[in-house]
Structure 1
Amino acid sequence: MPDSSSRILVIYTGGTIGMVESEEGYVPASGTLQALMQDRPSFRADDVPAYEVHEFD
């Protein structure tokens, strides 16, 4: 279990990992990266420190 004071800040400023497919091609979509991270068991493991995702346009 991580130290309770351990925290990670993820700053997302854009890019492929936070995009979704649309009729116009891939476009940025707010919340996509955070949803992907929440869906992966490796980010929910007990030994992973608390993290927060901040997205910028």
Structure 2
Amino acid sequence: MDQKSCNTSIKCSVSSCAFHNGPYNCCSLESIKVGCCDSTPTKCEGTECASFELAK
């Protein structure tokens, strides 16, 4: 089992992401990209983590 780093500045609860560090609920990436689900988001639901990658 490879040990993932933990970027404590990026909180994450998406356990199905390849970059999720479960024991610490953080992201193992150095930075993430936030994207939009529609052209003019007005709520949280209108955004997404564009760095998401489905875990194997």
TM range (shorter): under 0.3
| Structure richer in strand, relative to its length | 1
**Larger gyration radius, structure 1 or structure 2:** 1
Higher relative contact order, chain-length normalized (CA < 8 Å, sep 6+): 1
Q: State the TM-score, normalized to the length of structure 1.
A: 0.21
